[in-house]
């Protein structure tokens, strides 16, 4: 599917769908900050320790989400590539442990993972947000883990044609006459970003909680149980683009990407979709951005600059850690990696070494004022207990 933006007679921008073509993609910079970090990927990392080999071994890759969602798609893409990159070529097996907005699987990894290089963990925004919000379900500590790889990403919001909405301008024009249902895994999960975005646009949205991941939310959308949904880039490209092509899903806007000046820019994977700041400005043409929008942007940065990460327990030996990090760097620098990854991960740099550590620092940075604002909003809006 290809989309183009044209001005109609009233001067408004209208998104037109052009069938029978693939989603438009451009090869331009993500943003100066991310490119600065990604440049570090090409730098030599600590060499693989000669005595480290995983031959004949089995690596368990814990994914705290249900099969079919963005993190599961991402992990299953990486599993065979890690097998090929690691010395001894161990089998990497994805183990899904959904529940608690990812806290169940994260807690289990924190409690049971062995520091032998054979247990790795997939973190996502839904794992980071409860940690940042001091959620009582969190029994894990990011400082107890060592990062191997980080994947920045974006996301897209889309609706069912049953709403009668054809584009984002239509959404804003009809929002007072349409009720939406959104399938969510929890208000403190990655869904915080789309839920707050919809609230800032004053949409009438009923959140249906209890999903085991964004994949489950997408399936609820496909079954017609909900009429608005969001997916991260990897899941949107692989799972939702076919729905767009057949006319059963209508993209509205992307969340965008942050530039070096911390202003939102269009996502390079969806250049013809407006980003959320553009849509917010359309909905509030005469108003300055409020604190809610600034909090949304802070959580977007926290959840998407390093939206998905691979971790080892911090207690692994220095040799095992350097072997994993070196192997990850070699993997993403393979000549054919970009060709393989673009259709699954999107057009984003994959971060390893020092760049991954810098991205993790960004992901875990949140001001106390932003934390207090969003906790109050979540408590008032969704009766969230912390």
Query: Do residue 41 and residue 115 come from a single domain?
Result: yes
230 located within any domain:
yes
Q: Which residues pair with 10 in a beta bridge?
A: none
Query: Do residue 274 and residue 178 come from a single domain?
Result: yes
Which domain covers residue 285, as residue numbers? 154-302+373-379
136 located within any domain:
yes
Distance CA 259, CA 69 (A): 27
Distance CA 155, CA 253 (A): 9
CATH number for 124: 3.40.190.150
Distance CA 320, CA 384 (A): 40
Q: Which residues pair with 149 in a beta bridge?
A: 310, 352
197 located within any domain:
yes
Give yes or no for a contact between 88 and 53, defined as CB atoms under 8 angstroms apart.
Answer: yes
Query: Do residue 224 and residue 198 come from a single domain?
Result: yes
pLDDT for res 262? 74
250 located within any domain:
yes
Query: Do residue 189 and residue 264 come from a single domain?
Result: yes
Q: Please name the helix (run of DSSP H) or strand (run of DSSP E) that holds residue 15, with its range, or none.
A: strand 13-18
First and final CA of the chain: distance in angstroms? 42
pLDDT for res 2? 38
Distance of CA 72 to the CA centre of its chain: 11
386 located within any domain:
no
Query: Do residue 298 and residue 312 come from a single domain?
Result: no
Query: Do residue 316 and residue 288 come from a single domain?
Result: no
Q: How many other C-beta atoms are found inside a 10 Å radius of the C-beta of residue 294?
A: 13
Ordered strands of the 91-96 beta sheet? 91-96, 58-63, 119-124, 308-313, 145-151, 351-352
Query: Do residue 291 and residue 235 come from a single domain?
Result: yes
Token representation of residue 291 = 């604190």
pLDDT for res 288? 67
Residue whose pair of structure tokens reads 């608690």 in the numeric block: 100
Query: Do residue 193 and residue 149 come from a single domain?
Result: no
CA distances from 236 to 183, 246, 311, 339, 346 (A): 16, 14, 24, 18, 10
1 located within any domain:
no
pLDDT per residue rounded down to tens, the chain (386 residues): 434 333 333 333 333 334 344 334 333 333 444 444 444 444 444 456 668 999 999 999 999 998 988 889 899 999 999 999 999 999 999 999 999 889 999 999 999 999 999 999 999 998 999 999 999 999 999 999 999 999 998 999 999 999 999 999 999 999 999 999 999 999 998 999 999 999 999 999 999 999 988 989 999 999 999 999 999 888 899 899 999 999 999 999 999 998 777 789 999 999 999 999 999 999 988 776 688 998 999 899 888 888 899 999 999 999 999 999 999 999 999 999 999 998 788 888 899 999 999 889 888 888 899 999 999 999 999 999 88
Q: How many other C-beta atoms are found inside a 10 Å radius of the C-beta of residue 14?
A: 15
pLDDT for res 301? 87
Query: Do residue 41 and residue 146 come from a single domain?
Result: yes
Burial of 229 (0-12, 13-18, 19+ CB in 10 A): buried
CATH number for 163: 3.40.190.10
221 located within any domain:
yes
Nearest residue to 366 via CA among 375, 353, 379: 375
Token representation of residue 349 = 């740099």
The sign of the torsion formed by the CA atoms of 144, 148, 153, 155 equals negative
232 located within any domain:
yes
pLDDT for res 49? 62
Query: Do residue 243 and residue 308 come from a single domain?
Result: no
Query: Do residue 349 and residue 266 come from a single domain?
Result: no
For every residue of 203-223, DSSP letters joined together read -EEEEEE--SSHHHHHHHHHT
Q: Give the list of residues 6+ apart from residue 307 with CB closer than 8 angstroms, or none.
A: 124, 125, 151, 152, 153, 190, 232, 363
Distance CA 308, CA 151 (A): 5
Distance CA 193, CA 373 (A): 14
Give yes or no for a contact between 334 and 160, defined as CB atoms under 8 angstroms apart.
Answer: no
In this structure, the strands spanning 250-254 and 155-159 are antiparallel
Query: Helix crossing, 70-85 with 337-345: angle to 10°?
Result: 160
Tally of domains within the chain: 2
Query: Do residue 321 and residue 278 come from a single domain?
Result: no
Residue whose pair of structure tokens reads 């934390």 in the numeric block: 371
pLDDT for res 5? 37
């Amino acid at each position: 599917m290809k989309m183009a933006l044209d001005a109609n007679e009233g001067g408004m921008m209208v998104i037109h769908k052009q069938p029978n073509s693939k989603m438009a993609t451009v090869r331009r910079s993500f943003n100066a900050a991310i490119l600065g970090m990604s440049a570090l990927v090409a730098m030599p990392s600590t060499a693989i320790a000669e005595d480290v080999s995983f031959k004949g071994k089995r690596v368990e890759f814990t994914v705290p989400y249900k099969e079919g969602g963005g993190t599961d798609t991402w992990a299953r893409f990486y599993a065979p590539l890690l097998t090929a990159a690691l010395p001894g070529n161990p089998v990497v097996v994805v183990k899904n442990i959904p529940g608690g907005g990812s806290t169940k699987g994260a807690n289990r990894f924190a409690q049971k993972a062995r520091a032998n290089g054979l247990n790795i963990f997939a973190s996502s925004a839904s794992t980071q947000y409860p940690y940042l919000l001091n959620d009582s379900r969190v029994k894990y500590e990011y400082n107890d883990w060592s990062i191997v790889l980080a994947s920045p990403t974006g996301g897209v919001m889309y609706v069912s044609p049953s709403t009668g909405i054809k584009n984002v301008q239509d959404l804003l024009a009809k929002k007072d006459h349409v009720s939406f249902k959104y399938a969510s895994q929890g208000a403190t999960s990655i869904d915080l970003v789309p839920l707050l975005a919809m609230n800032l646009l004053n949409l009438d949205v009923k959140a249906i909680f209890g999903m085991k991941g964004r994949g489950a939310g997408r399936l609820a959308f496909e079954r017609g149980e909900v009429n608005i949904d969001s997916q991260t880039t990897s899941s949107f490209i692989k799972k939702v683009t076919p729905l767009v092509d057949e006319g059963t899903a209508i993209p509205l806007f992307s969340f965008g990407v942050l530039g070096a000046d911390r202003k939102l820019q269009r996502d390079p994977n969806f250049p013809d979709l407006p980003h959320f700041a553009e849509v917010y400005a359309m909905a509030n043409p005469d108003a300055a951005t409020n604190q809610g929008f600034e909090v949304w942007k802070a959580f977007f940065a926290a959840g998407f600059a390093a939206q998905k990460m691979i971790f080892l327990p911090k207690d692994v030996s220095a040799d095992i850690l350097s072997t994993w990090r070196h192997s990850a760097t070699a993997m993403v620098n393979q000549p054919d990696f970009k060709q393989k990854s673009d259709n699954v991960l999107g057009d984003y740099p994959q971060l390893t070494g020092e760049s991954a550590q810098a991205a993790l620092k960004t992901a875990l940075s949140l001001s106390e004022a932003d934390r207090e604002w969003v906790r109050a909003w979540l408590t008032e809006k969704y009766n969230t207990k912390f």
